[in-house]
């Protein structure tokens, strides 16, 4: 399968869907394959100027000579990247953005994922209004009554074949309920994290677009889903899928979100789970809101008491038949031989090891840990201790297990290993003690070790991710039977996909309260009001490495989302769609490459190119040569009080002197714009070539602090 970008025919407008299909079919070597299958799979209307078709590389090569051909790329596979988090985010049902937005009422959020379980109580439409008149979508379940005023549409995309939007994975239902879930009382996982579960925007409407089938999703289906969502009239898109791209024009999510932005739709997208490595970041175009993952202060705590009375702390969820602790049991460590397969307790390694009535030590995988526990239980094991690697460090992924489990951070892992490695302990023992749900864990929030970091390698240096949001051990609806005796399925899930769901809900509330705002204005409001301090007033930490250092902007972006602040940001930085084209041409992309992204014919010689630093972005990222200076411009729009004055405050990055002109912004009406310049001068004695320094610039009055992070790369 290939995705093919073409120009629209000169001086011709498509009058019908058939006209567009005929134009796209004219590029094909034949309408059908030898098998009789049609070659044309998708004829895109909004998202790109082009189509997806069943082609060989030879077919594409022959097509390249045809007039109107721009670019073709192979269809690539995508990666799949709450009872408490609304309160953790400061949402209050009696005041603030939740109240003012009527919980997101009147907005439509499109979730592109693995589908939906429509019968889950989180999708109840009690007290939900009718869908907006602009809604043009449909419900593709065999029983259309499964949709309601909450779940107003559900479609599935699978290479042009008929398929059901039913969620057979769990991910999509979890994401959807995190965004818009209705209140469900007494939600829990095996009695843990018990409370009333609700989504971030519980009165928003939900449109589901399934593109992942049997754990596989592809660019062509993602483009079709975005194309349909634009046609249907969604206000916000939540995309928890994507991949790290080599070029902006090779990513379906990046290209599709550009078309959505032009139609006034903000795309919230996952940064990816490639951390803690640098520059393994997805969905990093400037017109997307790119979201990293943070922790909350809630922990499902477990203590491991060792035979020498030493205790190590961990987390886990399991069912203990009303017992709080296991018996003191011998420890079995298959990985003591140093063989990787044994360290990770692969099923084949446990057959010849005596684990009857023992607590088994296994190193933790990113997934598959529950299956390890099932194997150990079947073999007669009494429990399991999961160990984090140095890269997983302090971030513990909680899962619902079938036997007593303690999952340890790498810091606690080293304590445990020091015990079992002692020569005197030829027969080490342990007991696992459940401590239940606890709050006020410190530090919190912190950046998860798995959360993808910048800098981006393809967007010219724009700071990514944009913000962080809760994405570790989030409880929400689940579509599958966990096999753990729960009447209503809820489960924990972690990842930047869950963080993205939170931001989609926040964006929907801002769309509800500020319908006149552009996607860039909503994004600016979220970024410039994000906070850098944790609940104890310290700089937000990173959960990698073990010493938990302060997070840099490549890990947390502008900071942690603050919905109440975003509701009333004071000033915003707006960006017109044409500004992005000027920026793309400034990246030295070819005309064809820019045309692919903009889905229109672009001649960069005819546009006003701008440098990356000159894009009116809420964060500031620039490259600076030693012994040089650089002046950049920003344009602030007043969305607060009509008569208002802001004064500049800034923290200079190391090695730089800053000068801001003017140092005061005076507004006399709403939506008035004021321009200012920032001059960066390298200090004479600074010799940090290759160094990255961080600072910040804020416009401040009594009601608002409008903060932009600054990142300077010395080249």
Q: What residue has token string 């902007």?
A: 553
Tokens describing residue 447 = 């950046």
The per-residue pLDDT for range 614-645, each reduced to its tens digit, is: 999 999 999 998 878 999 999 999 999 999 99
Looking at the DSSP bridge assignments, the partners of residue 714 are: 624
pLDDT value at 350 more than 80 = yes
Candidates 366, 387, 342; CA nearest to 274 is 366
Residue 110: predicted pLDDT? 97
The per-residue pLDDT for range 390-427, each reduced to its tens digit, is: 999 999 999 889 899 999 999 999 999 999 886 655 68
Identify the weakest region by mean pLDDT among 1-15, 381-395, 490-504: 1-15
- Strand, helix or coil for residue 541: strand
The per-residue pLDDT for range 40-50, each reduced to its tens digit, is: 999 999 999 99
Neighbours of 614 (CB within 10 A): 17
* 381, HSE (Cβ side, Cα atoms, 13 Å): 30
Residue 197: predicted pLDDT? 82
Alpha carbon distance 559, 34 (integer Å): 55
Candidates 412, 363, 352; CA nearest to 385 is 363
pLDDT value at 446 more than 60 = yes
* 52, HSE (Cβ side, Cα atoms, 13 Å): 24
28, 269, 302, 609, 640 from 468: Cα distances, Å: 44, 11, 27, 31, 25
pLDDT value at 433 more than 50 = yes
In sequence order, the 6+-apart residues with CB closer than 8 A to the CB of 459 are 248, 284, 285, 286, 612
In sequence order, the 6+-apart residues with CB closer than 8 A to the CB of 365 are 344, 372
State the average pLDDT over residues 339-363: 90
**Percent above pLDDT 70 for the chain:** 94
Alpha carbon distance 179, 138 (integer Å): 20
Tokens describing residue 356 = 């009857």
Q: What residue has token string 């552009």?
A: 518
Residue 34 burial (C-beta neighbours within 10 Å; 0-12, 13-18, 19+)? exposed
pLDDT value at 459 more than 60 = yes
Identify the weakest region by mean pLDDT among 13-22, 417-426, 478-487: 478-487
- Strand, helix or coil for residue 554: helix
The one-character DSSP state at 535 is T
| Helix, strand, coil percentages for the chain (3-state, nearest 5) | 25, 30, 45
Torsion of CA 688, 689, 694, 697, to 10 degrees: 100
pLDDT value at 483 more than 90 = no
State the average pLDDT over residues 640-664: 96
Beta strands in 328-444 (DSSP E): 329-332, 359-363, 383-387, 400-401, 405-408, 429-438
Do 307 and 277 form a contact (C-beta atoms < 8 A)?
Answer: no
Tokens describing residue 38 = 């049609």
Q: How many residues does the chain have?
A: 715
Instruction: Give the chain's mean pLDDT.
Output: 91
State the average pLDDT over residues 502-519: 95
Alpha carbon distance 698, 24 (integer Å): 50
State the average pLDDT over residues 682-702: 90
The per-residue b/e assignment along 431-470, b for 16 or more CB within 10 angstroms, e otherwise, is bbbbeebeeeeebbbbbbbbbbbbbbbbbbbbbbbbbbbb
Q: What residue has token string 């699978």?
A: 158
- Strand, helix or coil for residue 447: strand
Tokens describing residue 440 = 């006020």
List active site positions: 113, 171, 497
Question: Is residue 79 very low, low, confident or very high in pLDDT (cuts 50, 70, 90)?
Answer: confident
pLDDT value at 486 more than 60 = no
Identify the weakest region by mean pLDDT among 182-196, 234-248, 257-271: 182-196
Q: How far is CA 250 from the centre of its chain?
A: 19
pLDDT value at 82 more than 50 = no
Looking at the DSSP bridge assignments, the partners of residue 155 are: 209
Residue 485: predicted pLDDT? 47
Residue 18: predicted pLDDT? 87
Torsion of CA 45, 47, 49, 53, to 10 degrees: -80
Residue 413 burial (C-beta neighbours within 10 Å; 0-12, 13-18, 19+)? buried
Alpha carbon distance 576, 685 (integer Å): 40
Candidates 192, 191, 238, 187; CA nearest to 82 is 187
Candidates 255, 361, 354; CA nearest to 600 is 255
Alpha carbon distance 413, 509 (integer Å): 42
pTM, entire model? 0.93
The per-residue pLDDT for range 100-127, each reduced to its tens digit, is: 666 677 899 999 999 999 999 999 999 8
Residue 625: predicted pLDDT? 86
Candidates 511, 479, 9; CA nearest to 236 is 511
Do 275 and 496 form a contact (C-beta atoms < 8 A)?
Answer: no
Candidates 455, 338, 361, 464; CA nearest to 415 is 361
Q: What residue has token string 């018996």?
A: 327
Alpha carbon distance 537, 515 (integer Å): 34
Candidates 104, 124, 131; CA nearest to 204 is 104
Residue 242: predicted pLDDT? 84
Backbone angles phi, psi at 95, to 5 degrees: -160, 175
Tokens describing residue 564 = 């109440």
Candidates 142, 151, 100, 92; CA nearest to 121 is 151
The one-character DSSP state at 89 is T
Question: Is residue 227 very low, low, confident or very high in pLDDT (cuts 50, 70, 90)?
Answer: very high
The one-character DSSP state at 524 is H
Residue 207 host element (H or E):
strand 205-210
Torsion of CA 138, 143, 146, 151, to 10 degrees: -10
The per-residue pLDDT for range 578-611, each reduced to its tens digit, is: 999 999 999 989 999 999 999 999 999 999 999 9
Omega cis (within 30) before 276 = yes
Beta strands in 396-509 (DSSP E): 400-401, 405-408, 429-438, 446-447, 467-470, 474-477, 490-493
Residue 322: predicted pLDDT? 47
Alpha carbon distance 152, 145 (integer Å): 10
């Amino acid at each position: 399968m290939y995705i093919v970008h073409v120009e629209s025919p000169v001086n011709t407008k498509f009058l019908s869907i058939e006209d567009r299909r005929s134009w796209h079919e004219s590029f094909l070597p034949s309408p059908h394959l030898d098998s009789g299958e049609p070659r044309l799979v998708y004829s895109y209307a909004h998202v790109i100027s082009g189509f997806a078709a069943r082609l060989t590389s030879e077919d594409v090569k022959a097509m390249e000579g045809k007039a109107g051909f721009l670019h073709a790329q192979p269809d690539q596979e995508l990666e799949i990247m709450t009872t408490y988090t609304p309160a953790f985010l400061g949402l209050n049902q009696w005041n603030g953005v939740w109240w003012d937005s009527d919980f997101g009422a009147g907005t439509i959020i499109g979730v592109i994922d693995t589908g939906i379980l429509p019968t889950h109580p989180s999708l109840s439409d009690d007290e939900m209004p009718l869908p907006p008149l602009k809604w043009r979508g449909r419900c593709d379940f065999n029983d259309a009554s499964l949709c309601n005023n909450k779940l107003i549409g559900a479609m599935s995309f699978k290479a042009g074949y008929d398929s059901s939007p039913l969620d057979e994975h769990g991910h999509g239902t979890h994401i959807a309920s995190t965004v818009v879930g209705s209140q469900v009382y007494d939600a829990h996982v095996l009695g843990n994290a018990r409370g009333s579960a609700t989504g971030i925007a519980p009165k928003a409407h939900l449109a589901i677009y399934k593109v992942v089938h049997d754990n596989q999703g592809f660019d062509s289906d993602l483009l079709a889903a975005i194309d349909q969502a634009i046609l249907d009239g969604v206000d916000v898109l939540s995309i928890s899928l994507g991949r790290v791209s080599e070029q902006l024009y090779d990513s379906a999510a990046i290209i599709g979100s550009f078309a959505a932005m032009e139609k006034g739709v903000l795309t919230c997208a996952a940064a990816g789970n490639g951390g803690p490595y640098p520059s393994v970041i997805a969905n990093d175009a400037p017109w997307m809101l790119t979201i990293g993952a943070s922790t909350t202060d809630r922990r499902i705590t477990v203590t491991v008491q060792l035979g020498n009375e030493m205790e190590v702390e961990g987390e886990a969820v399991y069912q203990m038949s009303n017992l709080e602790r296991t018996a003191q049991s011998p420890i079995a460590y298959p990985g003591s031989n140093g063989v990787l397969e044994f360290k990770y307790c692969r099923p084949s390694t446990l057959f010849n090891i005596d684990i009857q009535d023992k607590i088994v030590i296994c190193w933790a995988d990113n997934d598959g840990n529950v299956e390890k526990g099932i194997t150990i239980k079947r073999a007669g094991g009494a429990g399991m201790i999961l160990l984090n690697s140095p890269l997983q460090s302090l971030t513990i992924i909680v899962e619902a297990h079938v036997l007593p489990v303690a999952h340890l951070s790498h810091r606690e892992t080293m304590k445990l290993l020091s015990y079992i490695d002692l020569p005197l302990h030829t027969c080490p023992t342990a007991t696992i003690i459940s401590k239940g749900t606890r709050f006020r864990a410190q530090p919190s929030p912190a950046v998860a070790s798995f959360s993808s970091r910048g800098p981006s390698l393809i967007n010219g240096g724009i700071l990514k991710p944009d913000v962080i949001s809760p994405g570790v051990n989030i409880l929400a609806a689940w579509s599958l039977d966990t096999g753990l005796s729960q009447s209503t399925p809820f489960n924990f899930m972690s990842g930047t996909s869950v963080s993205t769901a939170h931001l989609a809900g926040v964006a929907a509330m801002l769309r509800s309260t500020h319908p006149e705002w552009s996607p860039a204005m909503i994004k600016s409001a979220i970024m410039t009001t994000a906070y850098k301090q944790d609940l104890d007033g310290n700089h937000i930490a990173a959960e990698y490495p073990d010493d938990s250092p302060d997070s840099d902007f490549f890990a947390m972006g502008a900071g942690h989302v603050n919905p109440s602040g975003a509701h009333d940001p004071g000033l915003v930085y707006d960006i017109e769609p044409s500004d992005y084209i000027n920026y793309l041409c400034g990246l030295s992309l070819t005309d064809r490459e820019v045309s692919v992204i903009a889905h229109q014919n672009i001649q960069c010689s005819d546009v006003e190119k701008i440098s990356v630093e000159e894009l009116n972005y809420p964060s500031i990222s620039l490259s600076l040569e030693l012994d040089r200076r650089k002046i950049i411009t920003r344009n602030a729009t007043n969305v607060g009080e009509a008569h208002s004055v802001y004064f500049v405050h800034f923290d200079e990055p190391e090695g730089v002197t800053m000068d801001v002109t003017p140092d005061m912004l005076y507004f006399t009406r709403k939506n008035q714009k004021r321009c200012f310049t920032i001059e960066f001068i390298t200090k004479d004695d600074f010799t940090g070539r290759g160094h990255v320094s961080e600072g910040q610039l804020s416009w401040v009055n009594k009601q608002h602090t409008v903060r932009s992070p600054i990142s300077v790369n010395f080249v």
